[in-house]
Structure 1
Amino acid sequence: MSTAELDGITVAYDDLGTGLPVVLVHGHPFNRTMWRPQAERFSREGYRVITADLRGYGETTVVPGKTGLDVFAKDIARLADRLGLGRFVLGGLSMGGQIVMEFHRTYPERVAGLLLADTSPQEETEEGKRVRNAMADRVLAEGLNPYADEVLTKMVSPENVRTMPDVAAHVLGMMRTTPREGAAAALRGRAERPDYRESLTKVAVPSLIVVGTEDEYTPVSDAELMHELMPGSTLAVIEGAAHMPNLEREAEFNAVFARFLKEIG
């Protein structure tokens, strides 16, 4: 693990391999270890893979209050500057995918390729705003343990929880160890997320959209919408995975990601 002091916070990150830089952004309420299988494989195959804990998550500084997607995107830009990255492939899952969309909207010239996994481009609904802010209040009061237990079989399909106990334990462990103040701040920020559909129509770099067939949070229809909006994008639907196809179906996910990276160079 390495750390960087960026705008008053300490960011924990891993920087593995050499070659075309690939920055992978984790979702909520996880940390950079959700990308460990991809970081380990692709850093051996000629890519420089960077994974960082977002502010409020993992081993990065917790900032209470409200953290918008724009703040997360700026943190990624600052870390990229610190690491000497010009243009790079940028990927994210769930909230991480929305951070990627915000980054592309703000810094399109820095993006060499996009990976959007199990995510959605629409702005938050009024009901969604209420639910996210209520959940923020709840995790501040209770911590993440009750929430983690409730949502495990949505993050990882019930069948995969049964047959892949190591994956289930990894996902549950990430959720349970997320700082409550960081999770709540991100929930409040996501409640105010904008609509990214228009900016996706302007994507002019190779793009890969991935979704699990069993995903209840961001269903296949959301992925199909992004595919329609993004000229020349590739859509990969992963059978038997829920919200975490990179862990639930590691081989299948890595295969489509490898083909995508080879197309970029």
Structure 2
Amino acid sequence: MLLLVHGHPFDHTMWHPQLARFDAVAPDLRGYGAAEPARGVTPMSAFADDLAAIAPGEVVLCGLSMGGQVAMEFHRRYPERVRALILADTTARAETPESRQDRLDMADRLSREGMEPYAREVLWKMVSPGNDAAAEHVLKMMLSAPPEGAAAAQRGRADRPDYRESLRAHPVPTLVVVGSEDVYTPLDEVKLIPATHVVEIRGAAHLPNLERPEEFNDAVAGFLATL
């Protein structure tokens, strides 16, 4: 099974271009979309356990940004069930003390202000400027995200472990994809992930699967063909 794991603060619709090409499952994570609500703190382990219940057999996990971290947490907890990983625009490193506090502060901000100020502030970091069609979809997802669910996920991410140790301890075929214009997780950052394949998608920012879907899909298809 190919299991697609969305990022923050999105929902399963971010995978529409991939669902049109691949036989895959794309759930909403807890606290997002149509999934059960969340408040307080949603640890990464809770996301991983939710996915384990959805997909009880062996899986190929494809996750972007926070979804990539959820995929790595799934691998850390259930390594025997992971056939391969596709990790897009994400980092395997734990937070620094400073970035951890930034994430906690952002969670409080989302709870206090709702999604709109944040969404409009980061839109053109999520997608490359001028990509209006992708930007419209991304903004709609961000504005629709439940603020408390998004805040709970941010608090959980603040305390995630460094996944490089578990990735090295239980190696699986791993494709890393990154947009060349991604300011959140640039190429140098994603290349810290132990990977067997690395693909950079030119002209895309943080969401290459929406910005350059044909190139992203070709990278995924080529990788799946090697398994």
What are the Cα deviations for residues 35-85 of structure 1, in whole angstroms up to 9, with x where unaligned?
111011113xxxxx100000000011112110011110000001113xxxx
- Structure 2 residue 180 is matched with structure 1 residue 189: no
| CA distance in structure 2 between the aligned counterparts of 1:96 and 1:64, rounded to whole angstroms | 19
TM-score of the aligned structures, taking structure 1 as reference length: 0.84
Larger radius of gyration: 1
| CA distance in structure 1 between the aligned counterparts of 2:97 and 2:169, rounded to whole angstroms | 27
Deviation at 1:204, TM superposition (A): 2.9
| CA distance in structure 2 between the aligned counterparts of 1:57 and 1:224, rounded to whole angstroms | 29
User: Structure 1 stretches (4+) deviating beyond 3 angstroms?
Assistant: none
1:224 aligned partner: 191
Q: Pairwise CA RMSD of aligned residues?
A: 1.0
- Select which of 27, 46, 51 maps to 2:7: 27
Task: Count the aligned residue pairs.
Answer: 227
- Select which of 39, 44, 59 maps to 1:64: 39
- Three-state SS of the structure 1 residue aligned to 2:169 is coil
The residue type equivalent to 2:111 in the other structure is L
- Structure 2 residue 173 is matched with structure 1 residue 206: yes
Q: Which segments of 5 or more consecutive residues in structure 1 lack a partner in the other structure?
A: 1-20, 44-48
The residue type equivalent to 2:62 in the other structure is G
| CA distance in structure 1 between the aligned counterparts of 2:58 and 2:205, rounded to whole angstroms | 31
TM-score of the aligned structures, taking structure 2 as reference length: 0.97
Deviation at 1:199, TM superposition (A): 1.2
1:257 aligned partner: 220
- Three-state SS of the structure 1 residue aligned to 2:21 is helix
The residue type equivalent to 1:236 in the other structure is V
The residue type equivalent to 2:188 in the other structure is S
| CA distance in structure 2 between the aligned counterparts of 1:131 and 1:204, rounded to whole angstroms | 31
1:136 aligned partner: 107
1:97 aligned partner: 68
The residue type equivalent to 2:34 in the other structure is E
Q: Which segments of 5 or more consecutive residues in structure 2 lack a partner in the other structure?
A: none
| % identical aligned pairs | 56
| CA distance in structure 1 between the aligned counterparts of 2:166 and 2:83, rounded to whole angstroms | 16
- Three-state SS of the structure 1 residue aligned to 2:191 is helix
- Three-state SS of the structure 2 residue aligned to 1:41 is coil
Deviation at 1:202, TM superposition (A): 2.7
| CA distance in structure 2 between the aligned counterparts of 1:174 and 1:29, rounded to whole angstroms | 7
Q: How does 1:93-132 map to 2 (within 5 A)?
A: 93-132=64-103
Deviation at 1:193, TM superposition (A): 1.0
- Three-state SS of the structure 2 residue aligned to 1:72 is helix
Q: Which has the higher contact order (CA 8 A, sep 6+)?
A: 2
